[in-house]
């Protein structure tokens, strides 16, 4: 993993770190609001990651995983994703729907729709922070909910970001919800060309 | 005692070891190209990520389908395989995003398959079978012992193709 | 009985909002994107529209303008997570009567409807 400082100026690194921390904090508020529950944000960071190392960041490549994926458009293009093991997604759906944990055992159309909305609010809140603090309009696409092998899901992130780059900037954090004993990963990967355009001095 | 040899993003593995199984786990939009020389018992697997490089990218990288296929054959031939004998099967290239707002913007899986077909046709190589497209990830295995190739999707059994 | 058109691409939310409004005595029709909302508006002439923004086919701000072009007196309340200052301004300038940020409080939505329906 390369240090941000080796590529960008100190000033830009500080800005990226601030956006990462406060944007993620705002995103977590949206997330918590949907659940109606308390949430903690852990290990929030801004870092450069080698594309081909991304699969190692989550569990086993064949682990059944749920991801809620969005792209962003406007002033800052990029990707965002909430990702978790499949069984943890059931508990999230229960919370969103106000049901006791353990009620949901299958992700049908309605359950996926609830997760879609969770992804929409979380991702949009991150973008709201960026927009209000940079003066640039940034909007999300409608989210996609994927349930599949971990590696297959990550292909999207890697192929989209990796068209011209070996390394990408990533903002990431874990959302920890006590009742669920769950850590959900939240990733934001701004489009590398956009970031370079901002960072070039 | 069988050993799995993982073939990660942009990697190629070639083996003559009967106890090995070459595996590309969870091919989503990525495409796996498998090749087997039944006379020499040499198996090779490429895990390609993108159809082609853009300007300024690393043109020699095997994460690109075209370059990956050339290197796969090059390596197998250097170990004694004969190109005309190679049995080729391809798997993967799924469109993982099926939501109405996004599916049209992401067609890398389809483009990977199209590039693989084009390159193999240019090389005059016949594809014996393919398990491609759709919206689900696949794990692609090649058993070096007999060249058997299988795919497995989540929640399902491994099947020969 | 007032008729409300609920527009959102998330089925889960359409169902939740519908249940809430039907329980309060409203008649509810649903649309899953801006284009279907425009068609539904023309066909059903609802009293108020609750409009999401981020949707496929046609987003909510475009649908807002299209609906107002068909009926300049249309009452549209934006109901969206996209609470950026620039977006709120654009919606109000385009003719939205109110702007509610998700996740929403029940009372906020019901109150906004009552204000418009009288």
Q: How far is A171 from A33, CA to CA, in rounded Å?
A: 21
User: Mean per-residue pLDDT for A109-116?
Assistant: 95
B63-112 confidence digits (pLDDT tens) = 999 999 999 999 999 999 999 999 999 999 999 887 766 655 568 999 99
Q: What is the mean pLDDT of chain A?
A: 87
DSSP B38-88: TTTTEEEEEEE-BS---TTS-TT-TTBHHHHHHHHHHHHHHTT--GGG-EE
- Judged against a pLDDT cut of 50, whether residue A27 lies above it is answered with yes
* B41-75 exposure pattern, b = at least 16 Cβ within 10 A, e = fewer: bbbbbbbbbbbebeeebeeebbbbbbbbbebbbeb
The residues, any chain, with a CB within 8 Å of residue A10's CB and separated by 6 or more, are none
For β-strands C27-31 and C3-7, DSSP reports them as parallel
Distance from CA of B2 to the nearest CA of A (A): 19
- Judged against a pLDDT cut of 80, whether residue A194 lies above it is answered with no
- Judged against a pLDDT cut of 80, whether residue A148 lies above it is answered with yes
Q: How far is A77 from A85, CA to CA, in rounded Å?
A: 27
C13·A110 Cβ contact <8 A: no
Residue A61: burial class (beta carbons within 10 Å; 0-12, 13-18, 19+): buried
pTM: 0.92
Parent domain of B125 = 3-160
Residue B89: burial class (beta carbons within 10 Å; 0-12, 13-18, 19+): buried
- Integer-rounded Cα Rg, in Å, for chain C is 13
Cβ of A140 under 8 Å from any chain C Cβ?
A: yes
Per-residue model confidence (pLDDT) at position A2: 67
Q: How far is C35 from A30, CA to CA, in rounded Å?
A: 27
Parent domain of A161 = 4-199
Q: For chain A, what percentages of helix, strand and coil (3-state, to nearest 5) are there?
A: 50, 30, 20
Q: Do B47 and A52 meet the contact criterion of CB atoms below 8 Å apart? A: no
Per-residue model confidence (pLDDT) at position A201: 43
Quote the number of domains for chain B. 1
**Closest-CA residue in chain B for C56?**
B101
Please report the residues numbered 150 through 189 in chain A whose beta carbons come closer than 8 angstroms to any beta carbon of chain B: 150-156, 158-160, 162-164, 166
For residue C56, list chain B residues with Cβ-Cβ distance below 8 A. Answer: 99-101
Q: How far is C53 from C8, CA to CA, in rounded Å?
A: 8
Least confident of A1-15, A151-165, B61-75: A1-15
Residue A3 three-state SS: coil
- Judged against a pLDDT cut of 90, whether residue B60 lies above it is answered with no
Per-residue model confidence (pLDDT) at position B103: 59
A116·C10 Cβ contact <8 A: yes
A120·C15 Cβ contact <8 A: no
Per-domain residue ranges of chain C: 3-104
> How many alpha carbons lie under 13 Å from residue B76 in its C-beta half-sphere?
32
Q: Which H or E element spans position B90? A: strand B87-92
For residue C33, list chain B residues with Cβ-Cβ distance below 8 A. Answer: 100
- Judged against a pLDDT cut of 60, whether residue A200 lies above it is answered with no
What is the separation, in whole angstroms, between the first and last Cα of chain C?
12
Q: What are the structure tokens assigned to A195, written together?
A: 């970031």
Q: How far is C116 from A173, CA to CA, in rounded Å?
A: 42
Per-residue model confidence (pLDDT) at position A197: 66
Q: Do B65 and B91 meet the contact criterion of CB atoms below 8 Å apart? A: no
Cβ of A10 under 8 Å from any chain B Cβ?
A: no
Q: What subunits make at least 3 CB pairs under 8 angstroms with C?
A: A, B
Catalytic residue among B30, B48, B119, B151: B30
Residue C54 three-state SS: coil
Per-residue model confidence (pLDDT) at position A37: 85
- Judged against a pLDDT cut of 50, whether residue A107 lies above it is answered with yes
A110·C11 Cβ contact <8 A: yes
Rounded percentage of chain B residues whose pLDDT exceeds 70: 94
- Judged against a pLDDT cut of 80, whether residue C115 lies above it is answered with yes
The complex's ipTM works out to: 0.93
C3-104: CATH architecture: 3-Layer(aba) Sandwich (3.40)
- Judged against a pLDDT cut of 70, whether residue A1 lies above it is answered with no
CA B154, distance to chain mean position in Å, is 18
Strand partners, B131: B91
Quote the number of domains for chain A. 1
Cβ of B100 under 8 Å from any chain C Cβ?
A: yes
A52-84 confidence digits (pLDDT tens) = 888 888 889 999 999 999 999 887 789 999 999
């Amino acid at each position: 993993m390369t240090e941000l400082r080796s590529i960008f100026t100190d000033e830009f690194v500080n800005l990226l770190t601030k956006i990462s921390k406060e944007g993620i904090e705002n995103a977590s508020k949206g997330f918590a609001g949907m659940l109606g529950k308390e949430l903690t944000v852990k290990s929030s960071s801004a870092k450069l990651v080698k594309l081909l190392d991304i699969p190692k960041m989550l569990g086993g490549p064949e682990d059944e995983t749920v991801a809620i994926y969005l792209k962003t458009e406007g002033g800052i293009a990029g990707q965002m994703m909430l990702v978790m093991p499949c069984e943890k997604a059931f508990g999230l759906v229960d919370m969103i729907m106000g049901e006791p944990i353990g009620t949901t055992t299958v992700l049908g159309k309605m359950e996926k729709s609830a997760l879609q909305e969770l992804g929409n609010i979380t991702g949009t809140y991150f973008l709201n922070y960026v927009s209000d603090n940079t003066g640039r309009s940034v909007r999300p696409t409608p989210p996609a909910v994927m349930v599949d092998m971990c590696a297959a899901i990550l292909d999207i992130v890697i192929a989209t970001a990796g068209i011209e780059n070996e390394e990408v900037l990533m903002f990431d954090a874990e959302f920890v919800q006590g009742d669920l004993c769950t850590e959900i990963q939240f990733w934001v990967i701004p489009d590398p060309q956009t970031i370079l355009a901002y960072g070039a001095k | 005692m069988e050993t799995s040899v993982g073939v990660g993003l942009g990697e190629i593995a070639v083996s003559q070891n009967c106890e090995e199984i070459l595996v590309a786990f969870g091919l989503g939009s990525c495409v796996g190209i498998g090749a087997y020389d039944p006379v020499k018992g040499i198996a090779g697997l490429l895990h390609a990520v993108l159809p082609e490089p853009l300007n300024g990218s690393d043109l020699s990288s095997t994460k690109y389908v075209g370059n990956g296929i050339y290197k796969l054959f090059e390596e197998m031939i250097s170990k004694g395989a004969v190109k005309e004998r190679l049995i080729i099967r391809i798997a993967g290239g799924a469109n993982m995003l099926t939501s109405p707002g996004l599916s049209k913007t992401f067609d890398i899986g389809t483009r990977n398959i199209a590039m693989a077909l084009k390159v193999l046709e240019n090389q005059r190589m016949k594809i014996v079978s393919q398990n491609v497209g759709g919206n689900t990830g696949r794990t692609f295995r090649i058993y070096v012992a007999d060249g058997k190739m299988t795919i497995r999707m989540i929640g399902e059994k491994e099947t020969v193709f | 009985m007032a008729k409300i058109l609920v527009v959102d691409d998330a089925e889960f939310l359409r169902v939740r909002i519908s249940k809430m409004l039907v329980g309060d005595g409203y008649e509810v029709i649903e649309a899953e994107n801006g284009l279907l909302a425009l068609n539904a508006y023309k066909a059903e002439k609802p009293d108020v529209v609750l409009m999401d923004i981020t949707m496929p086919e046609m987003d909510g701000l475009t649908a807002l303008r299209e609906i107002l072009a068909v009926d300049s007196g249309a009452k549209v309340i934006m109901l969206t997570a996209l609470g950026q200052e620039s977006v709120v301004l654009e919606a109000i300038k385009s003719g939205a009567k109110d702007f509610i940020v998700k996740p929403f409080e029940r009372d906020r939505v019901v109150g906004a409807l009552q204000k418009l329906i009288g």
